[in-house]
Amino acid sequence: MTGRGIDQIMPRSVDPILFESVVWSAEDYIVLAERRHGPIPRNVEPGYIWGDALPLMQSMSPDVSIANLETAVTTSADHQRKGINYRMHPANVTCLQAAQLDVCTLANNHVLDWGENGLLETLGVLRGAGIKTAGAGTELKEAVTPAVQPTGQGRVLVFAGGHTDSGIDPGWAATSRGPGVHLLRGLSARNASGIGRVVRSMRRDDDVVVYSVHWGDNWGYDVPEEHQAFAHALIDEAGVDLVFGHSSHHPKGIEVYRNKLILYGCGDLINDYEGISGHEAFRPELRVIYFPVLDQRGDLQHLDMAVLETSGFALHHPAAEDLEWLGDRLAEASREFGVDVRSRGDNLLELY
């Protein structure tokens, strides 16, 4: 399972609060990154951005690879008046194919940055590339329907929803008559029960259920009480086996609740932010890919977390001291949930 990361492949515009002036072109991101890390090659192969992550993912050989894709894949010029608009050219979908992604979740606050036509093109491009989607659709029924990925022992059902506290415009909600995202207007146990009805209508005995949720702020380790309560309710009321949370630009704490894994914030994996300053305390250049192993009941057996560092718009193995730093931060952030984290060496962290 990949983290938030693929949600930010170039090109895109940038948050104006981070600069003295607004950045209008993703080419300016390249200039900023090169000031920090030196020249970045052009006309590279699609797998370039993954760097050392590709052989790592191949060696782990996951049954299903899931990413939150936080951008539109479109040539639409219908930019929404929101200040930050991200898009990726459809020709660059080969970057996603290079990592053999199975599912991209789309219930987030950037997938409609270029309007409904941008969303519709995104859905078409991904499906044409053989990548399944969840959390957005041409109408509400499609947005709430999970992506279904067969495995050797059963199936993985991937549901997705996004909460308004992540910045999703309420007007982006899919309806019975129009496209949009599966919008979570609240994080109550009642809403979790509603999700549970859809889960039960789809689930077979050997299925594992993943719920991808876009929620919360971009920075900070605090987990709101309502997020924890909703994650628990997804497990208790909806029968979810793994909660895949994202929106934070850095990894957050981890919980194991009733033997089910909750990732409150997976952080970014791939983006073009490396020339941006302002949040160095969180070390956002350190990225994590999560490799949970679940049994046939969906209970967590083991979790490996591969740590990488972004430089030159590619992922690389980090220094040993950086691995230790992130392990210490995740351990501190997870301790309140009764979970600890330690380094295993080989650029891996694990729970214990």
* Structural domains of the chain, ranges and CATH numbers in brackets: 4-351 (3.60.21)
The encoded tokens of residue 159 equal: 């549901």
Residues comprising the chain, all counted = 352
pLDDT one-digit tens code per residue, 94-151: 999 999 999 999 999 999 999 999 999 999 999 999 999 999 999 999 999 999 999 9
Candidate from 13-22, 25-34, 209-218 with smallest mean pLDDT? 13-22
The pLDDT score that the predictor gives to residue 23 is: 66
* Long-range contacts of 219-228, Cβ-Cβ distance < 8 Å, separation of 24 or more: 219/248, 219/249, 219/250, 219/279, 219/282, 220/248, 221/252, 221/253, 221/329, 221/332, 221/333, 223/252, 223/253, 223/264, 226/187, 227/187, 227/264, 228/255, 228/262, 228/264
- Number of neighbours of residue 170 by Cβ within 10 angstroms: 9
Least confident of 26-30, 97-101, 214-218, 279-283: 26-30
Q: Is the pLDDT of residue 37 over 90?
A: no
Of 217, 142, 212, which Cα lies nearest the Cα of 181?
142
Listed residue (156, 160, 116) closest to 139, CA to CA: 116
**What is the pLDDT at residue 83?**
82
CA 111, CA 135: separation in Å to the nearest integer? 10
